[in-house]
């Protein structure tokens, strides 16, 4: 089922939780709502679900105005971060529940329910644990059962609010891959809320980046990561270094150094901030031009296949975070206290007023 959100507003007292939100989700897409705490992700999800009424705007399901439709008529399935399963029911009974409580005229036969539950347990790879009780499952297994239970009633839309939020990092990572595969199999239009950029980048077809009740950018993971529309999106999607400078005719001047600012050829001289991700800094021992920033190695930390460096700029003592491959680090033979020159390979420049 396709979803269209038009000009949605939501206030809580004098607080604006959602501010003119527009969003279109075609049938079968897996979309991540990504943003910091309090940006309005859950509120938007609850409005789509029908658990919250917007102050203004319209929600269309499959082209029809569903804004006033009751939750139970919307054909949505939910999975929440702490979606408590029924503790006194087995896994099998939990998944069967939504079908068993249907009114008699639309309730499937006992055999049909059994077949459906078995099929779902297989789908979420839990078919051998049907007789267990929730207390006998791991957190990741419980969330898979919550998902199977939500899918049992054949929702047209799946809404997931931080479904893996309460799980440890390793299980989270496993479930991420798993949910992507599951979605590729069942193709139900799905929206999940997360504040974890890695999760959104890995799992979603498109990412909706939210901030203070507004949508900052909507795009594929590649688009939001590589072509952020503003510095908020760029900073939210990964670690960045920030260099204050001055933009003039396609060049950005940072301290005594100068770099090409690819997307800003025609701008007149103005204050700007250049952002560069730690792995996109080019570290050299020598420099013969002014296209690098002089710094000193303050701290070295090797983590798995990468080496993180903390560098201190020579001109203003501010810190730069750099990330090198082990090979490059070995090649450079760096030690704490060494002088280095920092080139900016893939800088993004946003014009910003600062003092």
Tell me which residues touch ligand ATP (CB under 6 A). Answer: 12, 15, 17, 35, 37-43, 195
Coil, strand or helix at 324: strand
Tell the smallest beta-carbon distance from residue 43 to ligand ATP (Å).
3
Tell the smallest beta-carbon distance from residue 13 to ligand ATP (Å).
7
**Closest CB to ligand ATP among residues 39, 241:** 39
Say how many C-beta atoms besides its own lie within 10 A of residue 258's C-beta: 17
Among residues 50, 49, 51, 52, the alpha carbon closest in space to that of 18 is found at 52
Tell the smallest beta-carbon distance from residue 353 to ligand ATP (Å).
27
Tell the smallest beta-carbon distance from residue 25 to ligand ATP (Å).
18
Answer yes or no: are the C-beta atoms of 40 and 210 closer than 8 Å: yes
d(CA 28, CA 32): 13
**Closest CB to ligand ATP among residues 61, 80:** 80
**Closest CB to ligand ATP among residues 40, 54:** 40
Tell the smallest beta-carbon distance from residue 17 to ligand ATP (Å).
4
R_g of the chain, CA atoms, integer Å: 25
d(CA 257, CA 269): 16
**Mode of pairing for the β-strands spanning 339-344 and 281-284:** antiparallel
**Closest CB to ligand ATP among residues 10, 206:** 10
**Closest CB to ligand ATP among residues 214, 312:** 214
Contacts of 102 by beta carbon, 8 Å cutoff, 6+ apart: 108
**Closest CB to ligand ATP among residues 237, 281:** 237
DSSP 15: E
**Closest CB to ligand ATP among residues 176, 195:** 195
Residue with tokens 């971060």: 81
Answer yes or no: are the C-beta atoms of 75 and 156 closer than 8 Å: yes
Tell the smallest beta-carbon distance from residue 37 to ligand ATP (Å).
3
Coil, strand or helix at 33: strand
Helix (H) or strand (E) holding 299: strand 293-303
Tell the smallest beta-carbon distance from residue 12 to ligand ATP (Å).
3
């Amino acid at each position: 089922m396709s979803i269209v959100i038009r000009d949605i507003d939501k206030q809580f007292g004098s607080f604006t939780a959602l501010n003119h939100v527009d969003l279109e989700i075609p049938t079968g897409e897996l979309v991540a709502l990504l943003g910091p705490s309090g940006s309005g992700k859950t509120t938007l999800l609850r409005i789509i679900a029908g658990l919250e009424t917007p102050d203004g705007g319209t929600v269309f399901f499959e082209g029809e105005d569903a804004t006033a439709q009751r939750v139970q008529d919307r054909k949505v399935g939910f999975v929440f971060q702490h979606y408590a399963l029924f503790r006194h029911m087995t896994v099998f009974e939990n998944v069967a529940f939504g079908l068993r409580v249907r009114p008699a005229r639309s309730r499937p036969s006992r055999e049909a329910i059994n077949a459906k539950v078995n099929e779902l347990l297989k789908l979420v790879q839990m078919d051998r644990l049907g007789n267990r009780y929730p207390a006998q499952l791991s957190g990741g297994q419980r969330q898979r059962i919550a998902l199977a239970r939500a899918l049992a009633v054949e929702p047209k839309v799946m809404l997931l609010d931080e479904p893996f939020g309460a799980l440890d990092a390793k299980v989270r990572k496993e479930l991420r891959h798993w949910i992507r595969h599951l979605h590729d199999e069942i193709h139900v239009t799905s929206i999940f809320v997360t504040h974890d950029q890695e999760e959104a980048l890995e799992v979603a077809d498109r990412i909706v980046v939210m901030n203070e009740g507004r949508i900052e950018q909507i795009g594929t993971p590649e688009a939001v990561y590589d072509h952020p529309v503003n510095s908020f999106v760029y900073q939210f999607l990964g670690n960045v270094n920030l260099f204050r400078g001055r933009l003039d005719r396609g060049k950005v001047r940072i301290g005594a150094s100068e770099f090409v600012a690819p997307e800003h050829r025609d701008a007149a001289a103005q204050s700007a901030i250049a952002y560069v991700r730690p792995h996109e800094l080019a570290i050299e021992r020598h420099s013969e031009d002014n296209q690098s920033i002089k710094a000193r190695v303050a701290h070295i930390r090797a983590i798995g296949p990468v080496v993180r460096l903390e560098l201190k700029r020579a001109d203003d003592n501010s810190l730069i975070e750099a990330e090198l491959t082990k090979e490059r680090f070995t090649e450079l033979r760096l030690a704490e206290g060494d002088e280095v020159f920092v080139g900016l390979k893939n800088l993004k420049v946003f014009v910003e007023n600062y003092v």
